[in-house]
Amino acid sequence: MRPPCGRGKGGGETFPRVGDDQVPPSFLFDHSILVTGEIDRTSGFEPGFPPQQALRDGRWEPDPLVLDDQALIAHVRDKGLVVLTGCGHAGIVNITRYARRLTALDHVHAVIGGFHLGGAIFEPLIPRVCDELAALSPDVIVPACCTGWAAQQALAQRFPLAFIPNTVGTRIEL
């Protein structure tokens, strides 16, 4: 059975094409990993990546939301959702909320990947992200790459039992 797709397409609209295949906004890969597709922005405070630009029709235009940002979601039996991000331009709160909405599952076992909180633009968001993550209550928090050092320190202090430091070669068994 296929999980619900992200934004509903109806009325004869087609999904974006990948090669010769039409793909929905989110899709189940190999009956085990859900690819989010475009992530709904619901937090109201995660800004995407303000300096981002995209080349459209030969012109560079602002593209702060980075709408092609995606994540992977797995449901680990008897544990809950595992959310795996890339850079996390959509924001870890938006991504995790969207994972819960797509799967209709509430319990988040782990959030792993980039939380995109490094640098002067994003560091003021760290306390709010920590508060929102506390409300989502993941069992395991593994920030990576573009989470930033200040955010990693804040997450380690706020979630001492859930936080796992991530470096090259870190192995995480869930």
Domains of the chain, by residue range, sit at 30-158
Q: Please give the mean pLDDT across all residues of the chain.
A: 86
Note the pLDDT of residue 24. Answer: 59
Beta strand extents in 41-154 (DSSP E only):
53-56, 59-62, 71-76, 80-85, 108-114, 140-144
Helix, strand, or coil (residue 27):
strand
Tell me which of 95 and 13 has the higher pLDDT: 95
Q: Nearest Cα to 140, choosing from 84, 99, 90?
A: 84
pLDDT bin (cut points 50, 70, 90) of residue 145 is confident
**More confident: 132 or 172:** 132
Predicted local distance difference test score (pLDDT) of residue 174? 86
| Banded model confidence at residue 16, pLDDT cuts 50, 70, 90 | very low
Overall average pLDDT of the 69-78 stretch: 93
Tokens of 163: 């936080």
Lowest-confidence pick of 3-7, 16-20, 43-47, 141-145:
3-7
Q: What band does 1 get if pLDDT is binned at 50, 70 and 90?
A: very low
- CATH of the structural domain 30-158, one choice from 3.20.20.140, 2.60.120.10, 3.60.15.10, 2.60.120.260: 3.60.15.10
CA distance 74 to 109: 10
Q: How is residue 20 written in tokens?
A: 């010769």
Check residue 117 and report its DSSP letter: -
pLDDT at 17 over 70: no
Range of weakest confidence among 6-15, 103-112, 117-126, 158-167: 6-15
What band does 118 get if pLDDT is binned at 50, 70 and 90? Answer: very high
